[in-house]
Structure 1
């Protein structure tokens, strides 16, 4: 299995998929355009930049940290590993229809949260596969 493309390539693909350019993304994220172009040129993204770019791209902040192959900050993760294990344990008992309902609701919440953060950014595009 090959490694995923470098973050600059993935970011360029996200920008293209969202139908924006580096300048408009920078404005939406309220960061300097040079910060975005630096990362597109192969520079390492700073954590604050990732936090600001994620909602501007219609993504959860933690997802963009993962895409960038950077450690996800504690405030963006479940604090209790037992909580995550309990969710997984409970989910295994659900039927396929129930799992689809959970997925659909989680997807709706994701878009509701994106709407709250920046209504103009919601494009209806799915996140990276």
Structure 2
């Protein structure tokens, strides 16, 4: 994680902290944090100690197969960090791009495009960071500091943004597969019931809850019936 020291120092500066003050806040030796600020690889235990100091979530949740969604994103750059933040909520790229579009009106992107960001082959834009704030529930100033981008302070949330869904996303990360399938089915039904309140681009076009074609309608469309 070669860029972690820079991200940590920017995040600490955003909070008005240096390595010494942060070390006192988390009860760690000053020399250990100074080394991490300078580029030394942080340990998993150190990350778990630092996260609460910044109000960030920690997770040791493991998927049923023993693999965590974020395990493969230990690469340089904030793009990989962003993918780990999504993965920490058990959101693979396909779910992340859906959430970015549905909750923050960002995109729509394909999963492969977001993966390019994770691999460092596509820049992390200010627009992506601003949208991720709504999905991840991390303060905009903190995420912008980590990404080293400047957000438009005058922009505000995009139209149709849903700003309180991040807590639900976090709480749902541990739900088992069968339970999640039931929730998906229920949410799909609710989604259709609330379609009149959605932006047209976000409305589902499937046939769920669509009125079946009546025999009368079939007769009216029959040329012989119309002629008679």
Please, what TM-score do these two structures have when normalized by structure 2?
0.31
Q: TM-score, normalised by structure 1?
A: 0.50
Higher relative contact order (CA 8 A, sep 6+): 1
Higher helix share: 1
The structure with the larger Rg is 2
